[in-house]
């Protein structure tokens, strides 16, 4: 099981049990909750159950580390190895790095891992239709909105390798 | 490198931002629409227009439009 990925000057460290309380605090912060589909308060018990559910090869949750600081969480979850697809997600807790190049570094790091090591053929992402930043961020990475999402609040986007690599190679030149 | 031209180029990175609304003292992170994508677009603009490699750390350290201008100007 992959535990650490280092690329594009960012480190992704697989989520371990000793970090789930920190992540729970991040996740319960209103600045993060506002963009999440699930908005209920998460208790330590809920977090513990969640961790037991995701700590396996079908889910990869990583702490994003930049400048030796733990700044956010990124994931590929609900991986279907037969369909070769999974659901991606990211949030940056540290405001210093929220609107910077670092989220792109982390996203490229995880997406490379998904396509090149997990051999996925599609990454899905659900984005609330009022989350303009996330929509722009994902669209820039090559995600495309799925069909019939116009009247859906939590809209489905998908990314395939061919679309991703064109964009990735342009972004890498800027790092 | 001219500050007025730089402000025009910077404004072009933002959606719906009139260059006349930007001054050297403008704190660029306060401009509506500021995002990680805009940060990346400024790096791209510096590269394409001025041939300057701007780092994410440069943008994080800069506060005003003038700060960004000075960083780029110093590397031309």
Interacting residues of A7 by C-beta distance below 8 A, sequence separation 6+: A108, A109, A112
Does B56 contact A at CB distance below 8 Å? yes
Q: Is the ipTM value over 0.90, yes or no?
A: no
Inter-axis angle of helices B3-13 and B65-75, to 10 degrees?
Answer: 110
Q: What is the radius of gyration, based on Cα positions, of chain A?
A: 15
DSSP-assigned letters across all residues of A58-116:
TBEEEEEEETTEEEEEEEEEEEETTTTEEEEEEEE--HHHHTSSHHHHHHHHHHHIIII
Phi-psi category of residue A78: left, alpha or beta, with phi > 0 → left and psi -120 to 50 → alpha: left
Q: Edge-to-edge strand order for the sheet containing A69-80?
A: A4-7, A10-14, A60-66, A69-80, A85-92, A122-128, A154-159, A144-145
- Mean pLDDT for chain B? 92
* DSSP assignment letter at A157: E
Give the integer Cα–Cα distance in Å for B14 and A14: 35
| pLDDT value of position B68 | 96
Task: Find out whether B39 and B46 touch, Cβ atoms under 8 Å.
Answer: no
Displacement of CA A167 from its chain's centroid (Å): 17
Give the integer Cα–Cα distance in Å for A161 and B70: 39
| pLDDT value of position B20 | 82
| pLDDT value of position B62 | 95
Average pLDDT value for residue range A79-83:
98
Query: Are A99 and B47 an interchain contact pair (Cβ–Cβ within 8 Å)?
Result: no
| pLDDT value of position A57 | 96
Average pLDDT value for residue range A129-156:
94
Chain B nearest-CA residue for A173: B44
What are the tens digits of pLDDT across the range A52-77?
999 999 999 999 999 999 999 999 99
| pLDDT value of position B21 | 85
Interacting residues of A107 by C-beta distance below 8 A, sequence separation 6+: A74, A90, A137, A141
Chain B: closest CA distance from residue A83 (Å): 31
Q: Which of B36, B44, B47 sits opposite A100 (nearest CB)?
A: B36
Q: How many CA atoms lie within 13 A of A18 on its CB side?
A: 1
Query: Are A104 and B36 an interchain contact pair (Cβ–Cβ within 8 Å)?
Result: yes
What are the tens digits of pLDDT across the range B23-58?
999 999 998 889 999 999 999 999 999 999 999 999
With a cut of 90, say whether residue B18 has pLDDT above it. no
Query: Are A101 and B39 an interchain contact pair (Cβ–Cβ within 8 Å)?
Result: yes
């Amino acid at each position: 099981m992959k535990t650490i990925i280092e690329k594009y000057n960012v480190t992704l460290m697989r989520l371990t049990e000793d970090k789930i309380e920190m992540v729970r605090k991040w996740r319960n912060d209103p600045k993060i909750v506002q963009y999440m589909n699930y908005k209920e308060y998460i208790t330590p018990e809920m977090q513990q159950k969640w961790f037991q559910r995701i700590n396996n090869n079908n889910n990869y949750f990583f702490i994003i580390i930049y400048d030796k600081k733990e700044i956010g969480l990124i994931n590929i979850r609900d991986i279907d190895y037969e369909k070769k697809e999974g659901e991606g997600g990211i949030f940056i807790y540290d405001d210093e790095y929220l609107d910077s190049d670092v989220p792109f570094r982390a996203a490229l790091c995880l997406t490379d891992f998904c396509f090149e090591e997990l051999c996925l053929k599609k990454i899905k992402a659900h984005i609330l239709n009022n989350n303009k930043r996330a929509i722009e961020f994902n669209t820039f990475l090559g995600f495309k909105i799925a069909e019939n999402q116009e009247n859906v609040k939590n809209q489905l986007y998908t990314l395939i390798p061919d679309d991703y690599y064109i964009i990735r190679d342009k972004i890498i030149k800027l790092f | 490198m001219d500050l007025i031209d730089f402000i025009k180029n910077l404004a072009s990175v933002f959606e719906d931002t009139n260059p006349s609304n930007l001054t050297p003292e403008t704190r660029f992170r306060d401009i509506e629409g500021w995002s990680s994508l805009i940060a990346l677009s400024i790096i791209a603009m510096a590269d394409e227009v001025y041939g300057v490699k701007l780092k994410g750390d440069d943008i994080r350290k800069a506060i005003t439009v003038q700060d960004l201008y000075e960083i780029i100007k110093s590397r031309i």
